[in-house]
Amino acid sequence: MGNIDYSTTAAECRYLIALGSNLGVGEIAPAEVLERALKSLQGRGFAVRSQSRFFQTPAFPAGAGPDFVNAAAVLEAQIDPVEVLAQLHAVEAELSRTREVRWSARTLDLDLIAAGDLVLPDAKTHQYWRKMPLEMQRAATPEQLILPHPRLAERAFVLVPLLDVVPDWRHPVTGLSIREMHDALPEAMRYEVRAL
């Protein structure tokens, strides 16, 4: 990660996360997988400050599996974003997530969307990943943590749940709020995400 200064995270930092599941774990349905993930995060020292409703969403990309159950949450912790990401991956593994094919069906997907108003690793790198065409996204994976999540403004399955918990949070690069990003999406995309 280089010499990134995380001093702004020395006190408790608010982290926005997106949760998704479309396979379940054994007899455990996707919605319960999300509930277990949040409980596991609490057991790892995260405070869950707010949680969205659960939503049903078509798999992305189209045809990548059964519909997802999606949600969003606001977490607080006194650890830096790299450690948060490591903890999210540990919870995914705990709930049988494997990483074999990008954007495939999965038991659990925990995405770190934002860490307060941090831009990582820097604005130029963030812009590169944010502007990357979809066809390149399928093959390219960043080697470092990019925050806020570079695809945030394009994904109804993230923005609709975030609208429940942080409608006024503003993207530190674009200046757009969650509500503004949500409202800028095509209407058809927004209506694909249905509350359960």
Give residue 98's pLDDT: 61
Residues 6+ apart with CB under 8 A from 151: 130, 137, 158
Task: Tell me how far apart the alpha carbons of residues 41 and 64 are, in angstroms, rounded to a whole number.
Answer: 27
Residue 11 has pLDDT above 90, yes or no: no
Task: Tell me how far apart the alpha carbons of residues 64 and 35 are, in angstroms, rounded to a whole number.
Answer: 23
Instruction: Summarize the confidence of residues 123-138 as an average pLDDT.
Output: 86
Q: CB–CB of 30/195 below 8 Å?
A: no
Structure tokens at 145: 């943590």
Residues 6+ apart with CB under 8 A from 131: none
Q: CB–CB of 149/113 below 8 Å?
A: yes
Residue 91 has pLDDT above 80, yes or no: yes
What are the residue boundaries of the structural domains of the chain, listed by start? 7-195
Closest CA to 115 of 88, 147, 144: 147
Give residue 97's pLDDT: 59
Q: What is the pLDDT of residues 76-87, one digit of tens each?
A: 999 999 999 999
Q: What is the pLDDT of residues 143-152, one digit of tens each?
A: 899 999 999 9
Q: Residue 106 carries which DSSP code?
A: -
Residue 178 has pLDDT above 60, yes or no: yes
Instruction: Summarize the confidence of residues 17-32 as an average pLDDT.
Output: 91
Give residue 59's pLDDT: 85
Give residue 139's pLDDT: 75
Residue 135 has pLDDT above 80, yes or no: no
Give residue 99's pLDDT: 54
Instruction: Summarize the confidence of residues 38-56 as an average pLDDT.
Output: 97
Cross-strand partners of 55: 70, 195
Residue 155 has pLDDT above 60, yes or no: yes
Residue 17 has pLDDT above 80, yes or no: yes
Q: CB–CB of 44/108 below 8 Å?
A: no
Instruction: Summarize the confidence of residues 153-181 as an average pLDDT.
Output: 97
Return the CATH fold of 7-195. Alpha-Beta Plaits (3.30.70)
**Residue for token pair 């470092």:** 144
**What confidence tier does 89 reach under pLDDT thresholds 50, 70, 90?**
very high
Give residue 180's pLDDT: 98
Give residue 1's pLDDT: 32
Q: CB–CB of 142/160 below 8 Å?
A: no
Q: CB–CB of 146/121 below 8 Å?
A: yes
Structure tokens at 90: 């540990």
